[in-house]
Amino acid sequence: MSEWIKEIPSVVSAIAAAVAVFFSYKTIIENRKNVFLLDKNRVALAVNRIARGFESESGSFKISEYSDEQATIVASKYHFDSDLYEQFMDVLVRLHRLEKSSGEWADKDNQAQEIAPIIKKIECDIRLD
């Protein structure tokens, strides 16, 4: 009987260690999500600035005036899901084509109307993590 009493502290210690490991693991997993939160926020702000500029200027929008925002978005490849990053790149390419197109104003307006719902879709009004 005295042997069992001697073993109780080691059993309690093992259980406490297992609980500590479990909560440490949960903390590490949660912090992995938060590591790039600042970068994700920068990208969200850049996308929103581009979206606001596009909404206000539409057919006369010049993506080349938003070079800092473009650099932020391009640098975010590893911070986001690959599908979302591809959507960001697709919008940037479409906006560059819109700026470089030399067609009439009506053609540019049609292109702008095609781009508007895509920008609305990727606009960061929800959490990115």
- Which residue positions in the chain have pLDDT lower than 50? none
| Other CB atoms within 10 A of residue 124 CB | 16
Task: Say if 5 falls within a structural domain.
Answer: yes
Same domain, 101 and 76: yes
Number of folded domains in the chain?
Answer: 2
Same domain, 72 and 116: yes
Q: Is 38:79 a contact under the CB 8 Å cutoff?
A: no
Question: What pLDDT digit, counting tens, does each position of 4-33 carry?
Answer: 788 888 888 999 999 999 999 999 888 877
> In this predicted structure, what is the pLDDT of residue 72?
93
Domain that holds residue 20: 1-35
Task: Say if 24 falls within a structural domain.
Answer: yes
Q: Furthest-apart CA pair in the chain: how many Å? A: 95
pTM: 0.68
DSSP 80: S
